[in-house]
Copies of this chain bind each other. A is one copy, B any other.
Amino acid sequence: MSDASGNRGPLEVGYDVPAALGMAEAEIQTPCLVVDLDGFEKNLALMQAEADAMGVALRVHGKMHKSPAVALRQIEAGAVGVCCQKVSEAEAFVRGGVRDVLVSNQVRDPAKLDRLARLPGQGARVAVCVDAAAAVGELAAAAARHGVVLDVLVEIECGAGRCGAGGPEEVVAAARAIAAASSLRFTGVQAYQGALQHRATHAERASAFEEVAGRTRASLAALAAEGLTCAVVTGGGTGSYALEGRSGLFTEIQCGSYAFMDADYGRILDESGRRLDARFRPALFVLTAIMSRAAPGRAVCDAGLKALAVDSGLPVVHGVTPPPGAEGATDVAGLGVRYAAASDEHGVLEDPTDTLRINQRLRLIPGHCDPTCNLHDWLVGVRGGRVESLWPISARGKGF
């Protein structure tokens, strides 16, 4: 909190921050985000090992967690840097100590381009995408104005129907314009298909990836024919990274959700038919407390639409917070406990055996981790039932 003179006092537990270091999980103020540090660290090591085995770089997607503290741990585990979607996110990561940032998106607003071009002066390597030759002029001018050289990738549309140059001719035209600008360096291409990430089976994703690979291959051939070399071919996500990684086309994968996981990714099946959450552990939870038991069979918790995103479905109940010192959460799904409905500040739980008690803490696995992280200011790291870390979500709300 700030006093009248604008000076900041210590953070107040419950108002500014949901927990204090050393606190038992059952004392954390709810609703808030809790990270199971053991699971998080295992997820980081596993994805890095996968990328290393495939011979591709791992550039972690910071749009998921929006927290430089998390990004620095991913880089320590071997990631080459961060990607993010917004200039203000890139600013937050650079301010937080990340030295290699790709804005994996289009930036067209002159004020945003100016801000982007200031970042190399703060000691970071900065790259950005364009999807049209017409986008290059303002970008080049901003870089020249600040006396920097920006790395630029051409984004290829590969089936998601969003941004991206439509075909090899448009890709080559944009690449030529980049290469011709002295304040820009043509670095390669980005081919990301967000819509395929969440398809249920590996076979469905592999089939959709054929279009990604085909379009990418065609653009790479057209660029090579023009003598335009791609140092970087980047794309992929938690649902598809093995396809990009083994394709022989990509040099870099852009996974984000693997670090925390969510209910939607947990359900998809890998090549061997196993759920993805059997490999990458659910490590992010919305911690919530029971606040009403007014009717038999029903409990109401304090996490609704303002504490969790429901665009990919309702949260899944992971379990009841254990007493301090114990590991993991007590499973209550076997008792039929289910998150049934979300309103703004309430979650209605079906509890057929009336097992939940007032003030008991529940861990919920959010349906979609990215917009859920964007609702909160802090990630509370827990291990062995106690709070071990408090990481600010510094880029929360940084959408500019």
Query: What residues make up the interface of A, taking CB atoms closer than 8 Å to B?
Result: 2, 6-8, 13-15, 18, 27, 29-32, 63, 85-88, 91, 105-112, 115, 131-132, 134-135, 157, 161-166, 170, 194, 289-295, 298, 300, 302-303, 305-307, 309-311, 341-346, 348, 358-359, 368, 370-371, 374-377, 396-400
B13, B86, B106, B112: the one contacting A300 at CB < 8 Å is B106
* Nearest chain B CB to A15 CB, angstrom units: 6
For residue A14, which residues in chain B have a CB less than 8 angstroms away from its CB? Answer: 87-88, 111-112, 115, 400
For A298, A307, A400, the residue with the greatest tally of chain B CB atoms inside 10 Å of its CB is: A400
B63, B111, B161: the one contacting A298 at CB < 8 Å is B161
For residue A132, which residues in chain B have a CB less than 8 angstroms away from its CB? Answer: 292-294
Known: A30-B109, A91-B15, A305-B311. A294 touches B131 (CB 8 A): yes
* Nearest chain B CB to A111 CB, angstrom units: 6
Q: How far is the CA of A215 from the CA of B211 in the complex (A)?
A: 59
For residue A111, which residues in chain B have a CB less than 8 angstroms away from its CB? Answer: 13-14, 27, 29
Chain B minimum-CB-distance residue to A345: B85
Q: How far is the CA of A2 from the CA of B394 in the complex (A)?
A: 12
Q: List 26 A-B contacts (CB under 8 A).
A: A2-B8, A15-B88, A15-B91, A31-B399, A31-B400, A32-B399, A32-B400, A85-B344, A85-B345, A86-B345, A105-B346, A108-B289, A108-B358, A108-B359, A132-B294, A135-B358, A161-B341, A162-B348, A164-B292, A166-B295, A306-B370, A307-B399, A311-B342, A344-B371, A374-B375, A377-B397
Known: A131-B292, A305-B309, A397-B377. A370 touches B344 (CB 8 A): yes
